[in-house]
Structure 1
Amino acid sequence: MTKLRDVAKLAKVSTATVSRVLSNAGNVTEKTRRKVLAAMEDLNYQPNFLGRQLRKMETKTILVVVPDIANTFFSKVLRGIESVANKNGYQVLMGDSQNKSENESEYLNHLRYKQVDGVILLTARTTPHLVEELSDSYPIVLACEYLEGSNIPTVSIDNISSARKITSHLIKLGHHRIAHIAGPKNVILGRDRLKGFEQALAQNNLEIDQILIQEGDFTYESGYRLMKKLLALQNPPTAVFAANDEMAIGAIKAIKHCQLSVPEDIAVVGFDDIQMASIFEPELTTVAQPTFEIGSTAMALLLSLMKKEKLNMKQFVLEEQMIVRESCGAKSNVIDSS
């Protein structure tokens, strides 16, 4: 069996230099790196990464836990995570918690068993004290969602402010009877976006009619079902703010199936700016989250934690944009978050 010292001998370098090439360290010249790689190829050398990782007590793997892999919002967040992870020699595993806190807790056990070096949670639905306790001993970053009062490194946007802005946009267009298809109230995102909706109404001296607030679950199906319920009211809304784009698209489908038009009869806005938002007809007015940047920032934070570096900042709130398209009835443009 070819050994590392055989590669070093053929390449006429030290075994330490071969190790630096294998670990992708930066203190090796490109000429030396090519020479070592050529020697490895000539000798058909297969490095024992597992043994090296065990000696260093690392797996070079991180785990990302998403609440629902069927939700396309998370695809660009994952790309952002992978872009930084791959550049730093890490592989990314993904776990789908299926919106169940017990599944999320199970995935966190990978840290205890040393099966991964760190975890990025794109969901925060497990018991808060469990995550807090684990974060004291293991590298954990929260992205997209957050835990109130937590000291865990977090990357997100200001969901309250964003929801307030897009609801205010509907009010400025002349709508006074606005419905909200909310996210689950046991999820921080659902509560924050509802709070922003209610703040916009209060700031404009509009009544908060509880019958116009319906709790969904962030799925297309719940948006469709709850829009049908709103349309059955004796005095239906003239506009609807859905807490994510999938529910907004479901709402538009329900409106069309009732032989009504968007935005002529009812204006609809969403949240997230998934790819389908600009393809669907009518194109959806929504809040665009910086998904790739959320992922890349979260992975950079996790790398710092895994290297035991001191963090100057732990809470990152990134800027969003309101994208005005056809579904609200206004002229299409991008409204800055400021």
Structure 2
Amino acid sequence: MPDSVTLSHVAREAGVSPSTVSRVINGTARVAPEKERAVYEAIRRLGYQPNLIAQGLAKGKSMSVGVITQDVASPYYGEVIKGVEEGLSGSPYYPVFASGHWRPDAEREAFKVLNGRKIDGLIVMGGLLPDDELRALAGGLPTVVLGRTVPGLEPDCLTVDHVQGAYEATRHLIDLGHRRIAHIAGPLYQQDARDRLEGYRRALADANLNFDPRLVVEGDYHEPSGLMAVEALLARGALFTAIFSSNDQMAYGARLALYRRGIQVPGEVSLVGFDDLPGSSYTTPPLTTVAQPSLEFGREAARAILSKLEGRPYAFAPLANRLVVRESTALLRQGVR
């Protein structure tokens, strides 16, 4: 069984000394290529799994990367987390997750818990920690930031253009003939929600359409707030033929509210989301949305933190949103609403 295989077994199988096996695994000295290949072949055949944690502790490392997410239950963050796990797979490092819950005090507590485990590096996903606190963290620990740009840490920050993504979503609806377009905004204390609102407003302005604050309702990125936003729009008598939702989850709630009112999508109201969650292609009808490269976000974050931990240079690969058109949007029908 692999659990009973020792370094000595590997050495005997490879025809080398135990010290050579140790040097190959730990990378502590150069080994002839043929011996290195023999060791790796023996490891593969025997299923040997070195105790990476013990090796790390011997070097003063925990071999772990702390990841502060905001909501582990969120489908969006779940995709990013999956990308981080994939990116770290095959490396000697493993991720340790903690939630910040979009509260600076909770984020500080999450970091305190992670730091207590002597993490070797840190990935921060979004959050509301002040920039100066993030700069201080990065000064003492290899750090990568996702979803926001921190002045002074720009090379270590990865985000996408939320303004442009929202602009394209709104422009898509305008190109279909819609002029009364409602917007379900995300929580406006978050930068991405403000950016998406800005993209919506810019698209309206470029089409010479007036911005109507009565067509904007703030949600919280969860499904119930999308449902309540549509109910609020209808209760105030707002006229609209399309909705741009700041994320897919609120679009799901909006779709349910429209269904309960007997309003057809896209026959009477077209609907666009943002994120392209895995379930968005299976809604009824399948949701037009702005796809975020969430898996790639996580993989890039892992690649960056590994490079920092190993002292290698790196630069983030450029990532961009893209509009995915499905059946929830259609040309405006004359006489509708």
TM-score (norm 2): 0.86
Tell me how far 1:207 sits from its aligned partner: 1.1
Mapped to 2, the partners of 1:174 and 1:272 lie a distance apart of 24
Q: Which residue of the partner structure matches residue 327 of structure 1?
A: 328
Q: 1:170 to 1:93 in 2, by over 3 A?
A: same
Instruction: Report deviation, 1:32.
Output: 2.6
Structure 1 partner of 2:36 = 29
**What does 1:129-208 align with in structure 2 at a 5 Å threshold?**
129-143=132-146, 145-152=147-154, 153-208=156-211
The SS at the match of 1:59 is coil
- The Cα shift of 1:21 comes to 4.8
* Alpha-carbon shift at residue 48 of structure 1 (Å): 5.4
| Structure 2 residue identity aligned to 1:328 | T
- Which stretch shows the higher mean deviation, 46-55 or 199-208? 46-55
The DSSP-based 3-state class of the residue aligned with 2:19 is: helix
For residues 136-285 of structure 1, the aligned pairs below 5 Å read 136-143=139-146, 145-152=147-154, 153-285=156-288
Instruction: Please give the alpha-carbon distance, in whole angstroms, between the structure 2 residues aligned to 1:277 and 1:48.
Output: 41
Q: Deviation of residue 294 (structure 1)?
A: 1.4
Deviation at 1:310, TM superposition (A): 3.8
Q: CA deviation at 1:137?
A: 1.8
**What SS does structure 2 have at the residue aligned with 1:121?**
strand
CA distance in 2, matches of 1:179, 1:66: 30
The residue aligned with 1:336 is none
Greater CA drift, 9-18 or 294-303: 9-18
Matched, 1:77 2:80: yes
Match of 2:292 in 1: 289
Structure 1, 166-175 or 57-66: larger mean CA deviation = 57-66
Distance 1:260 1:271 in 2: 21
TM-score, length-normalised on structure 1?
0.86
Cα distance in 2 for partners of 1:5, 1:293 equals 36
- The aligned counterpart of 1:318 is 319
18-27 or 248-257, which deviates more = 18-27
CA contact (8 A) 1:7 1:18 kept: no
State the SS of the aligned residue for 1:318. coil
Provide structure 1 residue ranges, at least 5 long, that are not aligned to the other structure: 332-338
Change (3 A) 1:52 1:264: same
1:50 and 1:302 map into 2 onto residues whose CA distance is 18
Q: Take 2:280 and 2:331, find their aligned partners in 1: how far apart are those partners? A: 16
- Distance in 1, matches of 2:144 and 2:185, equals 26
Farther-moved stretch of structure 1 (3-12 vs 182-191):
3-12
Q: Distance in 2 between matches of 1:99 and 1:82?
A: 22
Root-mean-square deviation (CA, aligned residues, Å) is 2.8
Q: 1:53 to 1:262 in 2, by over 3 A?
A: same
Distance 1:276 1:252 in 2: 14
CA contact (8 A) 1:243 1:271 kept: yes
The corresponding residue for 2:128 is 125
Shift of 1:108: 2.1
Asked whether the 8 Å contact 1:18–1:36 carries over to 2, the reply is: no
Deviation, 1:325, is 0.9
Question: For residue 335 of structure 2, what is the aligned residue in structure 1?
Answer: none
Q: Any unmatched runs of 5+ in structure 2?
A: 333-337
Residues matched between the structures, number: 323
Change (3 A) 1:233 1:61: same
Paired with 1:59 and 1:298, the residues of 2 have a C-alpha distance of: 19
Percent same amino acid among aligned pairs?
31
Q: For residues 81-128 of structure 1, give each alpha carbon's deviation from its aligned partner in whole angstroms, at most 9, with x where no partner exists.
A: 222211222212222222322222222235644621112122222222
8 Å CA contact 1:324, 1:330 repeated in 2: no
For the residues of structure 2 that align with 1:238 and 1:63, how far apart are their CA atoms?
Answer: 45
- Distance in 1 separating the partners of 2:238 and 2:11: 84
- Tell whether the 8 Å contact from 2:98 to 2:114 is kept in structure 1 after alignment: no
- Offset from partner CA, 1:58-77 (integer Å, 9 cap, x none): 11211222211221122332
